[in-house]
Structure 1
Amino acid sequence: MGLCRPDPPARPHPPRPGQRQQHQQKQRRGRPLRSVRPGPAPPRPARREMYGHKYPGSFLKAIVNRPLQKEFRASSPTYMSLGSVLCLVTGASRGFGRTLVRLLAPRLGQGSVLLLLARSAAQLAELAAELRGTRSGLRVEFVAADLGCEQGLRQATAALREVLPAGPPGRLLLINNAGSLGDISKTFLDLTDPDEINSYFAFNITSALCLTSSALQAFGKQPGCSRTVVNISSLCALKPFKNWTLYCSGKAARDMMFQVLALEEPDVRVLNYAPGPLDTDMQLLARTKTGDADMRQFFQNLQESGQLIDCSVSAQKLMKLLEEDTFCSGAHVDFYSI
């Protein structure tokens, strides 16, 4: 019986195109030479980390690198029903609130009641008429009131109590969207007028607190029912922006306020949703009226590079969060983290 010849030692494969150059680069850097095999690109940083960097440079880079927005077509989507809901939306007459209401209405089941709140009676009446004409089985009511004053807040609370008996007993959905920028031409040291400051916080904080607590009390705790509260938040709730003392303070206070609600009332679903830099009238004010020149340029760059988010795109993400209902109650969820 003959002896088997041992196999010759394996020879390394010749380098593939581009590998020789990589070896040479590593040698020049003083790194140990090792075989380089093609593989998947290293993972990008998490969107939450990218979006959380400081502005304006890396923050702008994070927005520029985000995935392209999906085009919204109102006639094509298949809606998931939220069931029979008593729904209240503040700041519903324009911008994100108006877009959100249009996406929300088709998802409300038969017998639902939709109550719209804002300052502009004409815009509310137009929107209510539009929804009534395109959505059967949905009762749409509106109240034109200034939530920043005591009388307007009472009007809104009275309207809510009036529609409660007609609303379905199963679910309450309250979306606190109303808000304002304040005077962003002023620095911290310029804010010395107590009336100006109190007026801002009355509209942006007090009204949200009083309206939410009144709605939850009026709806009550019922067996088998659900109560959901959404606060439209902002990156400014987490990070300071120059000349935005009032806005950042208001958003931070509202976030914490609703976190306390989630802690005290575990049966209430609470969400702080930051919709991202939206293409709205408020964004126009940001890039033209902000006192700090660097911040103005930052917002102008967002607009000129086409990186502002269409309201319908962000509103669809909020709808997805509400439909899936898997968020941690009280959490701050950003557009870019979804």
Structure 2
Amino acid sequence: MSAVSGFGKALVIITGASKGFGRALALSVAPRLAAGSVLVLAARSDDRLQELKRDLCRGESGLTVRCVAADLGCKAGVEKVLTETRDTDPDIDQLLLFNNAASLGDVSRYCRDFTDVDEVNSYLSLNVSSALCLTAGVLRSVPRRAGLTRVIVNISSLCALRPFPSWVLYCSGKAARDMMFRVLAEEEPDLRVLNYAPGPLDTDMQLQARSSSADDSLRNTFSVMHAHGQLLTCDQSISKLMTVLLDDKYPSGAHLDYYDL
């Protein structure tokens, strides 16, 4: 598949779509979809989703946009998204699921300070459990068949590979998700599975990182990067991701970083 042809007629699901990387991703993917495609956007904020839908639906693109305001940290939220993926047009060429929804967690404390099991479970529910259950549900809704390409993208991080002091929740969640999708790639050789680390993005999450991180060195590093204009825009990172997906030459299950491409 070439970058010129785009993704064809597709069902595309993007979690965490209301702002930041997820919003930019939706705006980048939409023009690459053929008429008859369906784009499912999931996030907690319905107002922001509706605003994004208006931006996507200008002109006659033949694209159907479905907004799902849902908390993916609970079973009902995952089911709400899955409802919008059922009864898919049997003529689609491609399924693309972008597991983007994530939170940084409390980075103002160290490992020794996390004694509340419910707090940790709540974090893992949104950042790990929901990604697994949503992916499994989508694969059941859109089963394998001849002529259909199914692509699962996990928005990963350098934190999946490297420990960052005071980021125990985020690093643990990202590491777990990477391994989850590596296992999926081994189990389902017909799937195309990618763990993509988008690099340090100039987003609200980055602002939280340089404002709240307990580790002085980490906080200062991000502050310097921001001050010197070294953070990436979402569009910069997504441009590389689109090239990787459209070229379709990556090993399934691979972890690819923006700076490796």
TM interval, shorter chain, is over 0.9
- 1:106–1:135 CA contact under 8 A, matched in 2: no
* AA aligned opposite 1:125: Q
- 2:155–2:198 CA contact under 8 A, matched in 1: yes
Residue of structure 2 aligned with 1:300, choices 200, 223, 242: 223
- Give unpaired runs (5+ residues) of structure 1: 1-77
Q: Indicate the residue corresponding to 1:267 in structure 2.
A: 190
Is residue 23 of structure 2 the alignment partner of residue 98 of structure 1? yes
Name the CA distance, whole Å, in 2 between partners of 1:315 and 1:79: 16
Name the CA distance, whole Å, in 2 between partners of 1:166 and 1:326: 27
**Which structure carries more relative contact order (alpha carbon 8 Å, separation 6+)?**
2
Is residue 204 of structure 2 the alignment partner of residue 281 of structure 1? yes
Residue of structure 2 aligned with 1:222, choices 126, 130, 145: 145
Q: Are the structure 2 counterparts of residues 116 and 135 from structure 1 closer, same or farther at C-alpha, using a change threshold of 3 Å?
A: farther
> How does the TM-score come out when normalised to structure 1?
0.75
* AA aligned opposite 1:196: E
Q: Indicate the residue corresponding to 1:53 in structure 2.
A: none
- Give unpaired runs (5+ residues) of structure 2: none
Return the index of the structure with the highest Cα Rg: 1
**1:293 positional shift:** 1.2
**1:190 positional shift:** 0.3
Name the CA distance, whole Å, in 1 between partners of 2:59 and 2:51: 13
Which segment is superposed worse, 179-188 or 164-173?
Answer: 164-173
Q: Indicate the residue corresponding to 1:144 in structure 2.
A: 69
Provide the secondary structure at the position in 2 that maps to 1:122: helix
Q: Are the structure 2 counterparts of residues 135 and 189 from structure 1 closer, same or farther at C-alpha, using a change threshold of 3 Å?
A: farther
Provide the secondary structure at the position in 2 that maps to 1:141: strand
Name the CA distance, whole Å, in 1 between partners of 2:184 and 2:42: 22
Which segment is superposed worse, 98-107 or 164-173?
Answer: 164-173
**1:145 positional shift:** 0.1
Name the CA distance, whole Å, in 2 between partners of 1:244 and 1:134: 43
Q: Indicate the residue corresponding to 1:323 in structure 2.
A: 246
Is residue 10 of structure 2 the alignment partner of residue 85 of structure 1? yes
Which segment is superposed worse, 310-319 or 131-140?
Answer: 131-140
Q: Indicate the residue corresponding to 2:83 in structure 1.
A: 158
- 2:41–2:49 CA contact under 8 A, matched in 1: yes
Name the CA distance, whole Å, in 1 between partners of 2:95 and 2:36: 13
Name the CA distance, whole Å, in 1 between partners of 2:119 and 2:91: 40
Name the CA distance, whole Å, in 1 between partners of 2:60 and 2:236: 22
Residue of structure 1 aligned with 2:36, choices 111, 134, 140: 111
Name the CA distance, whole Å, in 2 between partners of 1:282 and 1:233: 14
